[in-house]
Chains A and B, each alone.
Chain A
Amino acid sequence: GAGVSQSPSNKVTEKGKDVELRCDPISGHTALYWYRQRLGQGLEFLIYFQGNSAPDKSGLPSDRFSAERTGESVSTLTIQRTQQEDSAVYLCASSPDLTDTQYFGPGTRLTVL
Chain B
Amino acid sequence: QQQVKQSPQSLIVQKGGISIINCAYENTAFDYFPWYQQFPGKGPALLIAIRPDVSEKKEGRFTISFNKSAKQFSLHIMDSQPGDSATYFCAASKPSGSRLTFGEGTQLTVNP
Is A14 interfacial (CB-CB < 8 Å)? no
A107: chain B residues at CB < 8 Å are 42-43
Asked if A41 and B104 sit within 8 Å, CB to CB, the answer is yes
Asked if A100 and B99 sit within 8 Å, CB to CB, the answer is no
Which residues of A pack against B, CB within 8 Å?
4, 31, 33, 35, 40-45, 48, 50, 56, 59, 91, 93, 95, 97-107
B13: chain A residues at CB < 8 Å are none
Is B83 interfacial (CB-CB < 8 Å)? no
Asked if A101 and B49 sit within 8 Å, CB to CB, the answer is yes
Asked if B42 and A100 sit within 8 Å, CB to CB, the answer is no
Within 8 A of A (CB), among B10-24: none
Total B residues in contact with A, Cβ cutoff 8 Å: 25
The 6 closest A-B pairs by CB, nearest first: A104-B43, A42-B102, A45-B99, A43-B102, A42-B104, A100-B32
Is B54 interfacial (CB-CB < 8 Å)? no
| Residue in contact with A100 in the complex, picked from B6, B41, B49, B89, CB distance below 8 Å | B49
A42: chain B residues at CB < 8 Å are 4, 6, 89, 102-105
A56: chain B residues at CB < 8 Å are 99
Smallest distance from the beta carbon of B14 to chain A beta carbons, Å?
A: 24
Smallest distance from the beta carbon of B99 to chain A beta carbons, Å?
A: 4
A100: chain B residues at CB < 8 Å are 32, 34, 49, 93, 96-97
Asked if B89 and A43 sit within 8 Å, CB to CB, the answer is yes
Asked if B97 and A98 sit within 8 Å, CB to CB, the answer is yes
Within 8 A of A (CB), among B88-109: 89, 91, 93, 96-105
CA distance A99 to B46 in the complex (A): 13
B99: chain A residues at CB < 8 Å are 33, 45, 48, 56, 59
